[in-house]
Amino acid sequence: MAEGPNTTLGGMHDILFRQLERIANQDLTGEVLEEEMRRSDAICDLTKTIIDNGRLAIQVAKLRQDAASMAPEVDYLLDAPQPKRLGNGKKVV
């Protein structure tokens, strides 16, 4: 029985190197090699998406850390509730 996916960067690293070993196999030719190359392309695309998503999460965490000194509009962009304001600019509690 196959194990579930390893969702760590180390697990992703292992997957990438296993796939590299598969496509580097000199015995692969023709359709089998083409299939492994398509699989490699898919793995690389997904890996890039995972890395980009992680990078975005880090950027959001940094922005949240600095949010106290930022304009309220930035809080809204970070999915924080937008405070209601009166005509004089003061927050409504």
pLDDT by residue, tens only, the chain of 93 residues: 455 567 788 898 999 999 999 999 999 999 999 999 999 999 999 999 999 999 999 998 888 777 666 666 565 666 655 566 666 666 555
Q: Is residue 61 part of a domain?
A: yes
Q: Are 82 and 92 in contact (CB under 8 A)?
A: no
Nearest to 73 by CA among 83, 61, 86: 83
Q: Could you give the residue ranges of the DSSP H alpha helices within the chain?
A: 9-23, 30-66, 72-77
Smallest Cα–Cα separation from 50: which of 1, 5, 93, 8? 8
- Kindly state whether residue 39 falls inside one of the protein's structural domains: no
Please tell me the total count of domains within the chain.
1
pLDDT for residue 83: 60
- Tell me, what's the pLDDT at 1? 40
Residue 40's nearest CA partner among 66, 20, 12, 61 is 20
* 42 falls within a domain: no
The whole domain housing 78 covers 56-93
In a domain, 66, yes or no: yes
In this structure, is residue 36 part of a structural domain? Answer: no
Please indicate, yes or no, if residue 76 is contained in any of the structural domains. Answer: yes
Query: Is 90 a domain residue?
Result: yes
